[in-house]
């Protein structure tokens, strides 16, 4: 028995439960579950689409590298939404419980358990990718803060990198150089 044969009949129920549980991590999840317009509800849409894609990649036994893109879309959201790192990535692990709840009676079969072990290992790999993705997002965010300072966009108040400040610095430096040259 392969993963796909085992889980395809339950796919709709499992994915729906997965989406609902992830959306429940927000303070007012009802709207995110109801609104179907992707532009009026970016969180609901991104999470629903992302989890559906991830689930397909997992059970169709596709190359796990394909999970990077949907994972990134999901983690990008969670990485800036006031979740702790574990809360941001735990959604991957939720899937294990959900699948077991949905399979319930089949769990006594050794064959099913063996298949699930293979799937668990794939889920664990996705979880590791999620950690990497989370760190990428946080690092990107800090890089953006640095870029903002360096580009002068933050010069609104601190003024350290505005064109005129740099100009002044250049002038001071060149004056100092001239003086040094004269001394030499």
Partner 1 sequence: MADTKVDQMSVNVVKEPSMMTGAIPRKNWMDMPVTFKPGNYCYPAKKSIVEYLDSKLPGLFGVPREWTVESDDWQLPENWVEIILQGMRERLDKFRSFKVFMDICVRCGACADKCHFFLGTGDPKNMPVLRAELLRSVYRGNFTKAGQILGSIARGREMNFEVLKEWFMYFYQCTECRRCSVFCPYGIDTAEITMMARELLHLVGVGTNWILEPASNSNRTGNHLGLQPHTFKQNAEFLLDDIEEVTGLKLNSLTFNRKGAEVLFIIPSADVFADPGIFTFMGYLLIFDHIGLDYTISTYSSEGGNFGSFTNNELMKKLNAKMYAEAERLGVKWILGGECGHMWRVVHQYMETMNGPPDNLEVPKSPITGTVFENAAATKMVHISEFTADLIKNNKLKIDKSRNDHRIVTFHDSCNPSRGMGMLDEPRYILENVCNNFYDMPENTIREQTFCCGSGTGLNTGEIMDLRMRGGLPRANAVKYVKEKHDVNMLSCVCAIDRATLLALMEYWNPDVGVCGVSELVGNALIMDGEIERTQDLRFEELVNVGGSDEAGESGNNEEGA
Residues lying near partner 1 in the complex (CB under 8 A) are found at 21-22, 24-32, 35, 37-43, 45-46, 76-77, 80-83, 87, 90-91, 94, 137, 140-141, 143-145, 147-149, 151-157, 159, 162-164, 167-168
Residues 6 or more apart in contact with residue 32 via CB below 8 angstroms: 23, 26, 41, 43, 44, 47
Q: In the bound complex, what is the minimum distance in angstroms from residue 134's beta carbon to partner 1?
A: 13
| DSSP code at position 28 | S
Q: How far is CA 78 from CA 89, 100, 134, 139, in A?
A: 8, 25, 8, 14
For 83, the token pair is 């979740």
Q: In the bound complex, what is the minimum distance in angstroms from residue 176's beta carbon to partner 1?
A: 20
Compare residues 6 and 91 and give the one whose CB is closer to partner 1: 91
Compare residues 6 and 95 and give the one whose CB is closer to partner 1: 95
Q: In the bound complex, what is the minimum distance in angstroms from residue 43's beta carbon to partner 1?
A: 7
């Amino acid at each position: 028995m392969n993963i796909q044969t085992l889980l395809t009949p339950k796919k709709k129920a499992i994915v729906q439960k997965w989406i609902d549980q992830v959306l429940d991590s927000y303070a007012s999840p009802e709207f995110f579950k109801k609104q179907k317009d992707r532009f009026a509800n970016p969180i609901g849409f991104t999470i629903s689409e992302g989890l559906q894609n991830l689930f397909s990649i997992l059970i169709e036994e596709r190359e796990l590298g394909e999970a990077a893109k949907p994972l990134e879309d999901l983690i990008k959201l969670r990485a800036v939404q006031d979740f702790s790192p574990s809360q941001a990535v735990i959604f991957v692990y939720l899937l294990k419980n959900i699948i077991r709840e949905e399979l319930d009676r089949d769990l006594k079969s050794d064959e099913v358990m063996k298949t699930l072990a293979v799937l668990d290992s794939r889920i664990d790999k996705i979880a590791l990718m999620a950690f990497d993705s989370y760190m990428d997002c946080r690092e990107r965010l800090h890089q953006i803060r640095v870029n903002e300072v360096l580009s002068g966009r933050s010069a609104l108040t601190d003024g350290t990198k505005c064109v005129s400040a740099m100009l002044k610095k250049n002038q001071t430096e060149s004056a100092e150089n001239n003086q040094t040259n004269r001394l030499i």
